[in-house]
Amino acid sequence: MNPAGDLNILLKAEDLLVRRGGVTVLDVPALDVFSGQVLALIGPNGAGKSTLLLTLAGLLKPARGTLLFRGERIGNGGFDYRRHIAMVFQEPLLFDTTVFENVAAGLKIRGIGRAEIGRMVPEYLERFGVGHLAKRSARKLSGGEAQRTSLARAFLTKPKIIFLDETRPPWPRPMTRRRPSGWATDSWWSMGEGSPRSARRPR
């Protein structure tokens, strides 16, 4: 389905129109996200940054347009796009259970077994600096702790694309040889096989 030149395009948006509350918030003629690419989206409050991320993550249905992941159309029930991506929201969304269970949730949804979950979750909790909070209720976390928990959950699933909405550093040490593509609205980051480089967006 992909023309040869488009092999590196992971996500392709065409003619996107998104309305919220009856108002047109986004009108994006074309957008390509390439494999290995890190993109940052900046703009004033209310510009539509979160709306674009939610739409590209398949969480908001556009009024018009198409989204293709590796040439396959998203949203027609043909394949489970959500398994290939992860999103960390502007306000971290955590379940009313422990930090451990929240981070394990992404693996459970993917049908990963208990032994693997028991091995991987502590590793990722440590990487994101919340290992000591494993048994804590996710409802009793500070904002930064909640965001770290949310990041651990997102990265643990080793997504092909990760959407980060105003997620603050510090970033994790690299944990996969394959580099996910990323979208961030308030920070830029790079994740390679050597030492990580991370920084706040220059101001």
Residues making contact with ligand ATP (CB under 6 A): 20-21, 25, 43, 45-51, 90
Q: Which is nearer to Mg ion, 49 or 160 (CB)?
A: 49
Q: How far is the CB of 101 from ligand ATP (least distance, A)?
A: 28
- Of 48, 50, 85, 155, which lies in the binding site for Mg ion, with binding defined by CB under 5 A? 50
Q: Which is nearer to Mg ion, 50 or 149 (CB)?
A: 50
- Residue 48 interacting entry, from Mg ion, ligand ATP, none, C-beta within 5 to 8 Å by type: ligand ATP
Residue closest to ligand ATP when measured from CB atoms: 21
- Residue 36 interacting entry, from Mg ion, ligand ATP, none, C-beta within 5 to 8 Å by type: none
Decide: helix, strand or coil at residue 141. Answer: coil
Q: Which is nearer to ligand ATP, 104 or 164 (CB)?
A: 164
Region of 84 (left: φ > 0; alpha: ψ -120 to 50; beta: rest) is alpha
Contacts of residues 137-145 at CB distance under 8 Å and 24 or more positions apart, as own/partner, are 137/96, 137/97, 137/98, 137/99, 138/94, 138/95, 138/96, 138/97, 138/98, 138/99, 138/102, 139/94, 139/96, 141/94, 141/99, 143/92, 144/168
Q: Which is nearer to Mg ion, 47 or 63 (CB)?
A: 47
Amino acid at position 75, single letter: G
Q: How far is the CB of 37 from Mg ion (least distance, A)?
A: 21
Q: How far is the CB of 46 from Mg ion (least distance, A)?
A: 8
Region of 196 (left: φ > 0; alpha: ψ -120 to 50; beta: rest) is beta
Q: How far is the CB of 182 from Mg ion (least distance, A)?
A: 16
Q: Which is nearer to Mg ion, 98 or 185 (CB)?
A: 185
Cα distance between residue 33 and residue 183, in whole Å:
9
Q: How far is the CB of 49 from Mg ion (least distance, A)?
A: 5
> Cα separations (Å) of 6 from 1, 11, 84, 166, 183?
10, 10, 19, 29, 19
Do 72 and 10 contact (CB within 8 A), yes or no? no
Q: Using the rule CB under 5 A, give the single segment among 67-75, 87-95, 101-109, 187-195 that binds Mg ion.
A: 87-95
Q: How far is the CB of 19 from ligand ATP (least distance, A)?
A: 9
Decide: helix, strand or coil at residue 11. Answer: strand
**Residue ranges in contact with Mg ion by CB under 5 A:** 49-50, 90
